[in-house]
Each structure stands twice: as C-alpha cells, then as structure tokens.
Amino acid sequence: MTPTRNVVIVGSGPAGLTAAIYTARANLAPLVLEGEPSSTTDQPGGQLMLTTEVENYPGFVDGIMGPELMGAFRSQAARFGAELVVDKVSRVDFSSRPFGLWVGDPSADEPTHRASAVIVSTGARSIMLGLDAESRLMGRGLSTCATCDGFFHQGSDIAVVGGGDSALEEALFLSKFADTVTVIHRRDELRASKIMQERAFKNEKIVFRWNTVVEDLIGEQALEGARLRDVLTGEISQLDITGMFVAIGHRPNTDLFRGVLDIDDNGYLLTQGTGTATNIAGVFAAGDVADHTYRQAVTAAGSGCKAAIDAERWLEAQGDAPENIAETPTEW
C-alpha cells in the first residue's frame, strides 16, 4: 500500500509554498504536488510566474520579478526538506483517512499518494472571453500572458480587455512594445487601484474604450481585429488590432473538489471561521482558491501559513503527528 505522508500540499503558488516552509520546519516532511507547466496561470509557481515586477510584496524595496520571488519561495521550502514534485493531481478521495491523491491515470485502483492531512492551494486561473474564435486565434495574436508575448507586438496596435489591476499592469507593460494599447472595459470606471489608474491615464500610448465589450474576433490565420459593442448604445464597431490580451478576472481551480468540498456561489472553497479548515476534517484550503476578496501574493502566503499551523494542530490532536513534530510556536 502507498505509504502515508503527514501532509500533502496541492499547488505551489505563494500559499502552497508558504505552507510547505512552515510544515517542513515543523518536521512534517511535506510533499508539494506543484502542478504542471501551462500558459493559463494554472502552473507551478502560480500566477506570479506570468507577471513581471511585483512592487507590493513586503521586504523588496525596489520590487522583485514574479518568477524570481516564486523561485525564492521554492528554494526556501526545499531548504527545510519539503519534497517538491512537478505533477498535477487528477483525482482526490477525501471520503476516508488517510486521504488519497492520484496523479496521472485517475482510474488507477491505488492512489499515488496518501496523506493524513491535505492543504489545497490550487489557486485561480484567467477567465477567457468565451468566443468561438478564441481557440483559433490563441497564440496567433490572442494571448493570456503579456510578459511572454509582448515582445512580438513591437510597433503594433493592440488591445487589453479588462479594468482591474492586472489589465492595467499588462497595458503598461505592453506599451513598451506596442504603438497603441486600447483598454476595452465593459464599465465606465476601473476597478484597478488609484496608483495603476494614474500611471495608465498618464501613458500616451494607452487609450480607453469605455462601456464596451468584445463581440467577436476577426482573422483566420492571425488576429486582424475585434468587433466591439457599446453596451449603452448597442453600436457595433471594428477595432483593427494584431494583438489582444485578456485580463477580465479569474476562476478558482476547484474542479477537482466539486461535490467533495463546500464551494461558494462563485466556485471558491469555503473555509470555517477565521481558520483554513474546510468541511472535511484534515483538509485545509489556502490562497486564491479560497479567497474571492483579497487575492494578493501576501494574503495567499499568510493563509498558507495559517493552513500549515491548522494542519499541525489537527495532526497533533488526532495523534497522527510524528513524534518529532515541532509545532510552530504561536504564543510569545
């Protein structure tokens, strides 16, 4: 039978890796199932792997690159003995303890890993527009990753869809390459923070199309334009662009847990009170997968720490903790 680990952590963004640092320091020898590479933010290292400069993570006076920050988190977890594996979980069985987790073939009889406690930190992924043309034009002008693909739009006219911080961050980054960046937003005001708004309004290459949604994308082999609809007047217009970046929000990665863990109306995992416990004792949730409200790297890291401490205490209370457990001290 597959040996039982103390803790298995699913996901390796700021929440998962912080949980790994804490549980590793508590001598719980955690296993982190990091996920698999992808270009849709559902990947090892999480959403920060697709960003550039992170300016609001405390401790980095001059900012730090997202991938570099996550590399440091990972090294720190490894230093304390966390085992990190680039694998994507395909199925979970939380119906009895120890819990079962599968990678690869989900129909295999025996789970790949067993765990006394599980910390779910699978994060969230970008939402796409839901147009048929998207699959045809993805990678042919349509992109989900400005830092990956901005370079290909030097001297072009392009668009960013969305009105939040990530949309403006992408627009500002892309303005280094493109001639014009049109920000298409369905409302007449931005959700983005004041500091990002000020930067975007000041940038001469960035123009705004308010109260506007994308109806369709034009182009067979490559993106040539977008058909836009003004939501107030219903007027249809065409914008000639060769690049489009979509930043209209996120969807939590909770498909694995549907019908198993309690989920709110928006699809996010529900946790109890101020802690990280889910409806299944021994399963904890941390980071964006359980946070519809804040969704910051630092709040994700904070909740990863809470999940680690919750898991330590739960293992102790169950009598499932190893003898050498070194619980994180919380009284000073």
Partner 1 sequence: MSTLTLSATTFDEEIAASSHAVVVDFWAEWCAPCKMIAPILDEIAAEHPDSLRIAKLNVDDHPDIGRRYQVMSIPSLLVFKDGELVKRLVGAKGKSQLLTELAEFV
From residue 155 to residue 194, the character string flagging contacts with partner 1 as x (rule: CB under 8 A) and all else as - is ----------------------------------------
Residue 243 binds partner 1, judged by CB under 8 A: yes
Interacting residue with partner 1 among 55, 79, 108, 139 (CB under 8 A)? 139
CA 98 to chain centre: 28
Among the residue ranges 72-80, 151-159, 167-175, 279-287, the one whose residues contact partner 1 (CB under 8 A): 151-159
d(CA 303, CA 169) in angstroms, rounded, equals 25
Shortest Cβ 324–partner 1 spacing (Å): 34
d(CA 124, CA 19) in angstroms, rounded, equals 17
Active site residues: 145, 148-149
d(CA 190, CA 284) in angstroms, rounded, equals 34
Interacting residue with partner 1 among 18, 23, 112, 147 (CB under 8 A)? 147
Convert 296-332 to b/e letters by CB count within 10 Å (16 or more is b).
bbebbbbbbbbbbbbbbebbeeeebbeeeeeeeeeee
How many Cβ atoms from other residues are within 10 Å of residue 30's Cβ? Answer: 28
Residue 141 binds partner 1, judged by CB under 8 A: yes
CA Rg value for the chain: 22
- Sign of the four-CA dihedral 36, 12, 46, 109: positive
Nearer to partner 1, 36 or 55 (CB): 36
Residue 136 binds partner 1, judged by CB under 8 A: no
Among the residue ranges 15-23, 36-44, 203-211, 298-306, the one whose residues contact partner 1 (CB under 8 A): 36-44
Residue 39 binds partner 1, judged by CB under 8 A: yes
Q: In sequence order, what are the residues at sequence separation of 6 or more whose Cβ sits closer than 8 angstroms to the Cβ of residue 199?
A: 168, 172
> What token pair was written down for 276?
């990280």
Shortest Cβ 313–partner 1 spacing (Å): 34
For strands 113-120 and 31-33, give the pairing.
Answer: unpaired
Nearer to partner 1, 63 or 322 (CB): 63
Binding site for partner 1 (CB under 8 A): 36-40, 43-45, 49-50, 66-67, 86, 88, 104, 138-141, 143, 145, 147-149, 151-153, 221-222, 243
